[in-house]
Amino acid sequence: MENRSKDFLRRVVEEDLKAGKYQEIVTRFPPEPNGFPHIGHAKSISINFGIAKDYQGRCNLRMDDTNPTTEDTQYVEALKDAVQWLGFKWDKEVRYTSDYFSKLYEYAIKLIKMGKAYVDSLPEEEMREYRGTVTQAGKRSKYANRSVKENLELLEGMKKGEFKEGEHVLRAKIDMASPNMKMRDPLLYRIKHAHHFRAGDEWAIYPMYDFAHCLSDYIEGVTHSICTLEFENNREIYDWVLETLELEPPRPYQHEFARLNINYTVMSKRKLLELVEKEVVSGWDDPRLPTIAGLRRRGYTPESILNFCEQIGVAKANSVVDVAQLEFSIRDDLNPKVPRVMCVLDPLKVTITNYEGSEELDASYYPHDVPKEGSRKVPFSKEIYIERDDFMENPTKGYFRLTPEQPVRLKHAYIISCKEIIKDEQGNVVEIKAEYYPNSKSGSDRSGIKVRSAIQWVEANEAKEIEVRLYDRLYNKEIPEGIEDINPNSLKVVKNALIEPAVITQKPDIRFQFERHGYFFADPVEYSDEKPIFNRIVSLKDSWAKKKKTDRTKPKTEPKKVQIDGEVTPMTQEEEARFEKYTNELKLNSEVANTLARDKQLSSFYEEALTTYSNPVNIANLVTNEVARELKSKTIGELKFKPKNIANLIKMVDDETISTKIAKQVFEEMSRSGQEPQKIVESKGLVQISDPAVLLPIIEEVMAKNPDNVEKFRAGNSKLFGFFVGQVLKATKGKGNPKVVNELIKEKLNS
RNA sequence: UGGGGUAUGGCCAAGCGGUAAGGCAACGGUUUUUGGUACCGUUAUUCGGGGGUUCGAAUCCCUCUACCCCAUCCA
């Protein structure tokens, strides 16, 4: 964690802290209690609680319960449970948006009094029409100019239930022509004669997300309101509400990240619900589902999920994470923790003809590389079962297990070799007659026999029967579309697997590694001593199975796709004239001339600069690059520097007082402070160093400090040239004349 | 089509003008009484495309392209 780079959210938090914007960081996890949480929620939980933890802040758990028709307490419980299971503690009590209904109502009244909200009575359909489209502006409802008094009375009536659903709504008065659809007078309240699972029947109106969320954040003192990308368009309302209400600072700000997607599964509430309702899965806790309940029943640990969330990172690009990453995180977590036991899923009887009686073998629960103590007794006799595919009559090349010619070690026991194969009428192998080597006992092997593999087994009479549920990915397709993409083999039930008795009688743990199979979990719901049931959490990595199946991954070198350039909008006459002048008279290259000509502000800035100092090309270059950047976020009036400053800056570059690198630095300072470039150079001592006598010792020092890189460079790694230039420039605080430095380094390095 | 976003290896993802981090996956090898683990090594002359600026560009400028989100009285 120490050296890991911070994600963009943490960077924002740190900057805000540094700027003294907040005393303490407060985040929140704000689900709507209308469904079961899934691993996507886990990501959000991990981010919100994780940030609070990292910066000694706090994180609230808030139920965003503003829609009484979809929400329910069972989901509240599931959500609370999920957070706790993942190991987080929310600050104080669980919060509910419904607790703020009265406060929210007060804010609505304030907005009406400010003339910023009105009761609209347009029928639903008409309201939609009035909203316009993405390309066409909407128009305001005629009800928008109701008096404050009338609005107040109407809202009160709505609240009291005097109107039918749909009759009126409260809307913010913002801008029906806004390019952001969300800002076209968004709804603040709607009438709903519904029973709320907490607020009861007190309210006949309920606040909308856009009104309730920002204010709930504010009420709770939240500083960083972190949500997913689809709310980017809502940020403008978030800010509008908080700003318009003129609330006392500090106030929260919204930041968005990309929601989690994983391949071969689905994450949307709608699709998850469909699976449950159509009984494709057994319920919300079906171990194949990416729900927290499902993952948990499957046997995933909270640690593994948290690690997974940390591994995948937080960013703003929509992405689909490979399930292999999730599988890795659970294997990685369980490997050093969990006891190894022997289980045979598909038994093949082996009779050891030269063994008489029985014995109990000592067997450690953990392999040599897991530093944990613990062992059990494993019964052994002449009748045992091994895995059917651990024997092959006609082995393929590279097969390490038992064959007529190849002996194999029974893990924790003896080496055996096959003496006879018994088959039924169909020719299926039903039993192996084998012989064991008495002096090959595990731990005291003096047989000198070399085996290529050790396999698991169980003693025939003592073994316990168990049910094993083998789970695989739910869908066949990486990005599944619907039920038609379901993997028909996502669940395989093995009714009569055999397991060594200690697992059932001693119960050393609830999670195990069934040796050479995978990690398994005693099903928390259906397991009983009479009928033990184990879920496969994840299989072991199996490079043998892979080698058999996939006939070498084909080298998938896709040819680079050719991109077709779209059309560029033609220049106006005025632009054309400027372009001509710039290319012909001032000798600018066409690219620079083009951008300058097309931008009225830039070109007038440029031409004014030319009146101070006439180097059309160099000034144009700086204006089209650096000045253009500043103009992206500011208007020309807001710029701290003037065209003549730019001209003077170029003059200093031209007479080699400063390098272009320094010029950029000076430019930045100029746009911050508005100082004259000469002053900046003077006060900061930025005059460039071109004297080889000064530069050479520095170069030698850099080379002396990086002898390996010098060697690599001389061996042909020419990329490192930039490294040396960079180091030298760093040592001179950027003041070295890069051209001279380049020359000198080239000389030194090649000598 | 207006607005808001996003593009770095097979999948995530750092990077903020000076040597293209890291994890997963894959592929070799060593160790191994798990074809597991661990360890070692290999895998981007290039950052969506094209131009420009610069001694030097994934990073700055211009432009094009692709994908995601927004027109629920859902959140």
pLDDT tens for A77-99 read: 999 999 999 999 999 999 999 99
pLDDT at residue A4 above 70?
no
State residue A634's pLDDT score: 87
Question: What's the gap between Cα A507 and its chain centre?
Answer: 37
pLDDT at residue A297 above 50?
yes
Take residue A592 and report the two structure tokens written for it: 């620079």
pLDDT at residue A1 above 80?
no
Q: What is the CATH number of domain A343-455?
A: 2.40.240.10
Which of the residue ranges A70-84, A618-632, A708-722 would you say has the lowest mean pLDDT? A708-722
Question: What's the gap between Cα A475 and its chain centre?
Answer: 21
**Which fold, A106-211?**
Glutamyl-tRNA Synthetase; domain 3 (3.90.800)
pLDDT level of residue A38 (50, 70, 90 thresholds): very high
Angle at A506 between CA A504 and CA A511, to 5 degrees: 65
Domains of chain A by residue range: 3-99+215-292, 106-211, 293-337+467-559, 343-455, 573-684, 692-749
> Can you tell me which residue has its alpha carbon closest to the C1' of nucleotide B54?
A660
State residue A635's pLDDT score: 87
Task: Work out the percent of chain A whose per-residue pLDDT is above 90.
Answer: 93
Quick: pLDDT tens for A419-437.
Answer: 999 999 999 999 999 999 9
State residue A436's pLDDT score: 98
d(CA A479, CA A61): 32
Q: Which nucleotide is nearest to A412 (CA to C1')?
A: B33
Question: Coil, strand or helix: which one is A553?
Answer: coil
State residue A330's pLDDT score: 98
d(CA A166, CA A147): 21
Quick: pLDDT tens for A159-198.
Answer: 999 999 999 999 999 999 999 999 999 999 999 999 999 9
Name the residue type at position A747. E
**Which whole number is the average pLDDT over A720-746?**
94
Q: Which nucleotide is nearest to A229 (CA to C1')?
A: B69
Phi (first) and psi of residue A281, to 5 degrees = -120, 170
**Which whole number is the average pLDDT over A274-279?**
96
Q: Which nucleotide is nearest to A69 (CA to C1')?
A: B74
What class has domain A692-749? mainly alpha
The question of ipTM being above 0.95 is answered as yes
d(CA A719, CA A723): 8
* Of A274, A467, A299, A432, the residue nearest A353 (C-alpha): A432
Take residue A528 and report the two structure tokens written for it: 């009983």
Question: Coil, strand or helix: which one is A560?
Answer: coil
Task: Work out the percent of chain A whose per-residue pLDDT is above 70.
Answer: 98
Angle at A252 between CA A255 and CA A28, to 5 degrees: 70
pLDDT at residue A336 above 80?
yes
- Looking up tokens 């395989």 gives A492
State residue A550's pLDDT score: 53
pLDDT at residue A324 above 70?
yes
State residue A561's pLDDT score: 65
pLDDT at residue A612 above 70?
yes
Q: Do domains A3-99+215-292 and A692-749 have the same CATH topology?
A: no
pLDDT at residue A557 above 70?
no
* Of A348, A498, A497, the residue nearest A432 (C-alpha): A348
Distance A565 CA to B63 C1' (A): 9
Distance A705 CA to B19 C1' (A): 15
State residue A101's pLDDT score: 98
Active site amino acids of A = 32, 259, 269
What class has domain A3-99+215-292? alpha beta
- Looking up tokens 């398994």 gives A520
Distance A405 CA to B12 C1' (A): 47
State residue A560's pLDDT score: 60
| CATH 3.20.20.60 correct for A293-337+467-559 | no
Distance A258 CA to B48 C1' (A): 20
d(CA A299, CA A320): 23
**Which whole number is the average pLDDT over A735-740?**
95
Contact A519, A511 (CB under 8 A): yes
Contact A421, A393 (CB under 8 A): yes
Contact A103, A215 (CB under 8 A): yes
Q: Which nucleotide is nearest to A736 (CA to C1')?
A: B55
- Which positions on strand B lie below 7 Å from a protein C-beta? 1-8, 10-27, 32-38, 45-46, 48-57, 60-75
* Of A23, A95, A33, A34, the residue nearest A59 (C-alpha): A95
> Can you tell me which residue has its alpha carbon closest to the C1' of nucleotide B17?
A661
Distance A1 CA to B21 C1' (A): 14
